[in-house]
């Protein structure tokens, strides 16, 4: 039974890096026969909490289509799924370490701690708490930090992405397990929760690799079986990772026995997979807010489709071994594998995102697209009949790169466009024509259009071709001119279709008012 989790801290919005971690954990769970994907909120760093971010995280996951089976808002057999509601569990697990002589109260004042740090700095040495471990620490009463009594040693573990890693003993330290405010540290809490929630795969950002030595020391102290795990072995086993029965009651939710009552020495390590960083387009620094590390919901507001974001984010550092770049959710579930994630940083290419979004927009049926663009129509379109809007949408569909392009591409269908002479100035070919030449050409076009009896894309195209012959102009000049004067938009759908839908009367009127 595969159980993965996404464990964000509610300290702000979810950016692409966070969503990618969630997506990969989700995919690993979904591709397993009875895989379960858990959402857990890690809110033990009370000073960093941002009101509303829990709701925001949940909305982001749901919008992108990453649904979870257990979580703070839906419950599940291993709840609660918010760390601040699990304080009793951390105390229980901490007590086990105290009982074994592997955890102790930290008696120092902040001033004393600062003196130790200053001393290490003066000696140009890394500060290690264990060098100052008190000989006779007081009994822990919950008001001091509870520290881990570490033994420096080296560990070897397997990372599904980074390969086999041997850690250095130097960084092992007496890290804090429970802070003086009564909340556990992330370092301790995630180990307890992953165990109690029967998590088989820990998938997270590569910034946690440097803490792995200390995590492994804690796993060992808690009596885990330290044999390195690989995802492959995990799948082959095909049974509960703790070897105990996982029953299914009615619905989907498994019923699992409480872990910390089990005999020690049986708990296997989870599979670890640390994701490479997401880099800017040039690949020379970590993605920052300016190059795309923004709230994923902003991409939705900017007119990107959830399916684009899913495919794009999945391919940040992962491929299926072929040239395929665009994947549906179903394809990702089938094809994703942790060991095809690259080790080096993935580049965030906004142009690729835009291109991919155009692709997913073209793939939608007109009805689907119509539903999706509900909030993107220009103001003036709101009064227009649905059938007219649908006709326009059908014309615009293959030119839309984001849903946000809709007003710019279609506004002139609904209201008189404002004249914008910069469109001439920026058009290399039209720039060369004098206002007189333009008026003369438009006069010819108008007369020819007036004589048209039927007003369909075909008859208009016919007429346009004749106009090329009559005027001796190139399409690049004549058609651009007609397009600009009838739409005053930098982009518009195909000319014959556009004029047909605008109607003969509007077309002639706009040609006349140049």
Chain residues binding ligand GLU by CB under 6 A are: 7-9, 42, 186, 190, 204
DSSP 183: P
Closer CB to ligand GLU, 8 or 493, in the complex: 8
| Rounded-to-integer distance, Cα 514 and Cα 510, Å | 7
CA distances from 414 to 377, 384, 388, 411 (A): 10, 7, 10, 6
Distance separating alpha carbons of residues 403 and 397, to the nearest angstrom? 9
Shortest CB 186 distance to ligand GLU, Å? 6
Nearer to ligand GLU, 277 or 448 (CB): 277
Give the residue with the Cβ less far from ligand GLU, 158 or 389.
158
What's the min distance (Å) between Cβ of 83 and ligand GLU? Answer: 9
DSSP 8-class letter at 347:
E
Q: Are 171 and 217 in contact (CB under 8 A)?
A: no
| H helices present in 225-378, as ranges | 231-237, 296-301, 306-314, 329-335, 350-363, 366-372
Longest dimension (CA), the chain: 104
Minimum distance between the CB of residue 11 and ligand GLU, rounded to whole angstroms?
A: 8
Report the residue number, 42 or 496, with the smaller CB distance to ligand GLU: 42
Nearest residue by C-beta to ligand GLU? 204
Nearest distance from C-beta of residue 247 to ligand GLU, angstroms: 27
What's the per-residue H, E or C state across 55-120? HHHHHHHHHHCCCCCEECCCECCCCCCEHHHCHHHHHHHHHHHHHCCCEEECCCCHHHHHHHHHHH
Which of 326, 369, 319 shows the shortest CA–CA distance to 342? 319
Q: Which is nearer to ligand GLU, 7 or 28 (CB)?
A: 7
CA neighbor of 26 nearest in space, from 407, 313, 298, 268: 313
Cβ burial of 365 (10 Å; 0-12, 13-18, 19+) is exposed
> In terms of CB distance, is 20 or 399 closer to ligand GLU?
20
| CB-nearer residue toward ligand GLU: 9 or 315 | 9
Specify the DSSP class assigned to residue 379: G
C-alpha–C-alpha distance, residues 84 and 86, integer Å = 6
In angstroms, what is the minimal distance from the CB of 39 to ligand GLU?
11
| Phi/psi at 47 (5° precision) | -75, -20
Q: How far is the CB of 207 from ligand GLU (least distance, A)?
A: 8
Task: For ligand GLU, give the closer residue by CB, 8 or 317.
Answer: 8
Q: For residue 418, which of 377, 391, 445, 378 has the smallest C-alpha distance?
A: 378
CA dihedral 135, 139, 144, 145 (to 10 degrees): 70
Backbone angles phi, psi at 203, to 5 degrees: -115, 120
- CB 294, CB 251: distance < 8 Å: no
Coil, strand or helix: which one is 332?
helix
If the CB atoms of residues 172 and 192 are measured against ligand GLU, the closer one turns out to be: 192
Q: Least Å distance between CB 290 and ligand GLU?
A: 22
Print the SS3 string covering 218-234: HHHHCCCECCCCCHHHH
The residue among 488, 513, 511, 485 whose CA lies nearest residue 411 is 488
Instruction: Please report how close the Cβ of residue 38 comes to ligand GLU at its closest, in angstroms.
Output: 11
Q: What is the CA radius of gyration of the chain?
A: 31
**Quick one: 208 or 455, whose CB is closer to ligand GLU?**
208
Tokens describing residue 123: 């000696």
Query: What is the closest distance, in whole angstroms, from the C-beta atom of residue 229 to ligand GLU in the complex?
Result: 16
CB neighbours (10 Å) of residue 305? 22
- For residues 171 and 209, which CB has a smaller minimum distance to ligand GLU in the complex? 209
Q: Which residue has the tokens 């002479």?
A: 421
Contact 241, 201 (CB under 8 A): no
Which residue number, 205 or 457, has a Cβ lying nearer to ligand GLU? 205
- Nearer CB in complex with ligand GLU: 183/186: 186
């Amino acid at each position: 039974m595969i159980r993965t989790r996404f464990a964000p801290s509610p300290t702000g919005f979810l950016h692409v890096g966070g969503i990618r971690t969630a997506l990969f954990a989700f995919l690993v769970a979904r591709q397993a026969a009875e895989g379960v994907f858990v959402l857990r909120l890690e809110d033990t760093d009370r000073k960093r909490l941002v009101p509303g971010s829990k709701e925001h995280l949940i909305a982001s996951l749901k919008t992108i289509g990453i649904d979870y089976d257990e979580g703070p808002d839906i419950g599940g057999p291993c709840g609660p799924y918010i760390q601040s509601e699990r304080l009793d569990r951390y105390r229980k697990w901490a007590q086990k370490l105290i009982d074994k002589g592997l955890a102790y109260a930290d008696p120092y004042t902040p001033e004393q701690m600062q003196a130790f740090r200053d001393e290490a700095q003066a000696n140009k040495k890394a500060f290690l708490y264990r060098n100052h471990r008190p000989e006779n620490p007081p009994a822990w009463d919950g008001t001091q930090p509870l520290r881990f009594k570490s033994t420096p040693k080296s560990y070897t573990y397997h990372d599904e992405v980074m390969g086999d890693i041997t850690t250095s003993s130097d960084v092992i330290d007496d890290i804090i397990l429970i802070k003086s405010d009564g909340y556990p540290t992330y370092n301790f809490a995630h180990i307890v929760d992953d165990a109690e929630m029967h998590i088989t795969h820990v998938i997270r950002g590569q910034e946690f690799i440097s803490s792995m030595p200390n995590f492994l020391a804690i796993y060992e102290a808690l009596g885990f079986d330290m044999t390195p795990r690989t995802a492959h072995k995990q799948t082959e086993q095909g049974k509960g990772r703790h070897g105990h029965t996982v029953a299914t009651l009615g619905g989907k939710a498994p019923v699992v026995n409480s872990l910390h009552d089990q005999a020690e020495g049986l708990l296997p390590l989870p599979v670890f997979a640390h994701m490479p960083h997401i880099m800017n387009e040039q690949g020379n620094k970590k993605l920052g807010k300016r190059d795309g590390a923004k709230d994923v919901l902003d991409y939705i507001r900017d007119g990107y489709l959830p399916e684009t974001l899913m495919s794009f984010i999945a391919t940040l550092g992962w491929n299926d071994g072929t040239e395929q770049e665009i994947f549906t959710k179903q394809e990702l579930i089938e094809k994703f594998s942790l060991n095809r994630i690259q080790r080096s940083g993935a580049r965030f290419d906004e142009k690729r995102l835009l291109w991919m979004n155009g692709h997913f927009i073209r793939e939608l049926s007109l009805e689907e697209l119509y539903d999706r663009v509900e909030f993107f129509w220009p103001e003036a379109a709101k009064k227009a009949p649905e059938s007219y809007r649908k006709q326009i949408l059908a014309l615009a569909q293959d030119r839309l790169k984001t849903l946000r392009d809709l007003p710019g591409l279609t506004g002139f269908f609904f209201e008189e466009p404002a004249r914008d002479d910069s469109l001439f100035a920026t058009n290399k070919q039209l720039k060369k024509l004098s206002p007189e030449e333009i008026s003369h050409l438009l006069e010819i076009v108008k007369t020819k259009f007036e004589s048209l009896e039927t007003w369909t894309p075909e008859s208009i195209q016919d007429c346009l071709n004749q106009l090329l012959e009559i005027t001796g102009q190139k399409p690049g000049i004549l058609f651009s001119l007609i397009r600009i004067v009838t739409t005053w938009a930098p982009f518009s759908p195909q000319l014959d279709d556009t004029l047909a839908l605008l109607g003969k009367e509007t077309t002639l009127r706009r040609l006349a008012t140049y």
